[in-house]
Structures are given as structure tokens and as C-alpha cells.
A = this chain, B = another copy of it.
Amino acid sequence: MQDKITQLLAEIQAGSFRALARGITMAENDLPGYESLLFQLKNTDTARVVGITGPPGAGKSTLVNALLHHWINTGKKIAVIAVDPSSPFNYGALLGDRIRMADFYNHPSVYIRSLATRGALGGLHAKIIEITDVVKQGPFDYILVETVGVGQSEVEIAGLADCTIVALVPEAGDEVQTLKAGIMEIANIFVVNKADRDNADTLYRNLRILAHERADGEEETPVIKTIATQKDGVAELADAIENYLKTHNSLPEKKLQLLTEKCWQLIQHQKMKGYSKAKLLPGLKEAIQSPDFNLYQYTSKLVENNA
């Protein structure tokens, strides 16, 4: 098994999308060998993780699409992880969108993986860190993680990505001040997409003011106007990403927090091996019949006996 995993990892590193797909599936579903795979991952930083988030309808997927075209033309290799359920890269998309994206699915420079959003409570994906770590083993320049900005996912994307893009659309207009604080704070780059719409300038101006206020004398978060459907502004966006990545190479606090959270989860996972709720139930069902039943004693004994 170990040898097969070493072989799989070598194939991923050599650029096999088939091997990568298998590796991701292993990590995603705890399939046999996943631990060995995770243990063998190299601490590589070749691929930079770029997060794209924003409200539904902000045109995130079209931006991803435009960035892919741009980067392919400059010889880059890119992986896309779509966690956004409404993304055309994901299964939830309209048929038209999916067809529009179809050319990339067989492009040798682009690997695309969509993930079901697990955990209905707004978290990004239970295995997003493991999956991103596996994808990092491949010979990619960029790993784009597309997420919809809802609930906890902002915090997670900020910890996961080396550069986080927050995409907004002119509808948001004057309400920038009332936008969810969470999504604003994580932006390393703001994008005003659909910049040909009315109100685009208002949104742009308001974001610039916000960026200026937040900067507090330090470097201001760039605000880029794009019309992603026409690829307008996409070269500027790519430059802004490149520039941000070049000048920000340290380990931000939020990344360390996410790692700590993951470490905690992994310990829990390891500690809980051998337990399952399905296995607990029948025992409880019987034990509870006893007039002396005490859940806390019962649980404590379970732990003692399995320790």
C-alpha cells in the first residue's frame, strides 16, 4: 500500500491529472491509504493559492474563467477548486454555464475539481485543507479556490489562500458600509465586476474610500474594475495578484489560526477512531432501560474500555 501511495504521489507531482483526481478522492473520503498519502505530502510552496469569494451573482466564475484564459496564454498551469455550489465549475450550475466551461475540462494546463459543500452550516468543506494540500503537490502555478461568501467560509478561505479576492457587483452600490464585515476584512484585492453597469463608479469609489480607511497609512487594498465577460481588466487583476503574492510571503496570523483549527480536528479524528454514532446507539438503547442508567458514567466506562 505504502509503495502504491508513493507511486501515486510521484504521478501527481509529475502532473498526472488522473492521479491527482484519485488522490483528492482518497483525501476527501478517508479511503484506504489516505493517511499514508497525507503523511508523504511535501511541504511545497510552488503553487500559490488564490481565493475568490463574494456574494452570489458577483460573477466569480466568469472571473475565474477570464483568469484561466489569461494565465494559459502566459504559459501557466492552474488548478481550480470550486466549493461554490452555484459555480458553473460545480454540479449545481445551469446547463449553459457548464457547456461554456467545458473546454477547460480537457485543457492540459487546467485541472478542475468541484466539491460538494459539506456541513450545511456554512463551513467551506470539511476536507478543504487536505484537498488543497494534495493539489499543491502538482506542478501548478496557481490554485484557484472559488467559494461563495457565506457564513464561516470567509474566514476559512482567508486562512487557506495566499491571496484572497473579494468580487462585488455594482448592485451593492451605496451599501458598501453595510456589507458583511467578515467578507470585507479578508480582501487582499477588491474586484468591481460588471464595471459597465450603472453605479459601478459609486461602488468603486466607496471601496477605494473603505480601502483607504482600512489602510490607516499602510498599503491600501487595490480595487480593480473588470468586465469579466469581455475579459476587460483581467490582465490588471492578474498583475495585482502577482504583485500581492510577491510582496506578501510571510505566514499571516489567520493562516496559523486555520492550521490550529485543523490540527485540533485531526487530533479529534484520531482520538475518536473506533467510535461511531451508529455503534453507540444500540448499546445506549439497552443501557437506558436500566433504572440506574447515568449517561455520564456510561460514557466514561465506554472510554475506559476502549482506551
Contact = CB atoms under 8 A, between A and B. Distances in A.
Number of copies: 2
B121 A270 contact: no
A43 B298 contact: no
Nearest to A35: B296
Interface in A235-267: 251, 256-257, 259-264, 266-267
A275 B281 contact: no
Contacts of A271: 268, 271-272, 303
Nearest to A303: B270
Contacts of A294: 38-39, 41-43
A124 to B, nearest CB: 14
Nearest to A293: B43
A300 interface: yes
A261 B297 CA distance: 16
A198 B262 CA distance: 53
Q: Which of A121, A271, A275, A294 has the most CB of B within 10 A?
A: A271
Nearest to A285: B256
Contacts of A256: 281, 284-285, 288
A3 interface: no
A210 to B, nearest CB: 25
A154 to B, nearest CB: 14
A53 B226 CA distance: 48
A92 interface: no
A302 interface: yes
A84 to B, nearest CB: 20
Contact of A275 (B42, B122, B267, B298): B267
A39 B280 contact: no
Given A39-B297, A268-B271, 6 more contacts: A39-B296, A260-B277, A260-B280, A266-B300, A270-B299, A270-B303
25 contacts: A38-B294, A38-B296, A39-B294, A39-B296, A39-B297, A39-B300, A43-B290, A129-B295, A251-B288, A256-B284, A256-B285, A260-B284, A262-B295, A263-B295, A263-B298, A264-B275, A264-B277, A264-B280, A266-B296, A267-B272, A267-B299, A267-B302, A268-B268, A270-B300, A270-B303
Q: What are the 5 A-B residue pairs with the smallest beta carbon separation, nearest first? A: A38-B296, A271-B271, A266-B299, A121-B121, A43-B293
Interface of A: 35, 38-39, 41-43, 121-122, 129, 133, 251, 256-257, 259-264, 266-268, 270-272, 275, 277, 280-281, 284-285, 288, 290-300, 302-303
